[in-house]
Amino acid sequence: ALQEIETGDVSVERMIVVGIPFVEVLKITRDLDLPMIVIGVRGRSTPPAEMLFGSTAEKVLRGARVPVLCVPF
């Protein structure tokens, strides 16, 4: 399922995909040649070293070749 939302000069697309979350985020970013990733972070992961970012957000940050904006929610 794909839904497109237009907000000013920013185009947002929502996608539902099946797979390992960080792998799919990085793959879609590469395949669609996206300029940026925006990802929500909760900080519920353990151990304490990962309290600011969950493991998915951290793996996206480490693997991304484009800027990543982490938004707490």
Tokens 């900080």 -> residue: 43
The dihedrals phi and psi of 21, each to the nearest 5 degrees, come to -50, -55
For the chain, give me the number of helices (H) and strands (E)? 2, 4
| Report field, pTM of the whole predicted structure over 0.75 | no
Nearest to 40, CA basis, from 3, 10, 5, 69:
69
Task: From first to last of the 73 residues of the chain, give the pLDDT tens digit.
Answer: 445 555 667 777 788 999 999 999 999 999 999 999 998 887 665 455 555 556 898 899 999 999 999 888 7
CA pair distance 64, 36, nearest whole angstrom: 9
Report the interhelical angle of 55-63 vs 21-31 (nearest 10°): 30
List, in order of start, the domains of the chain with CATH numbers: 2-72 (3.40.50.620)
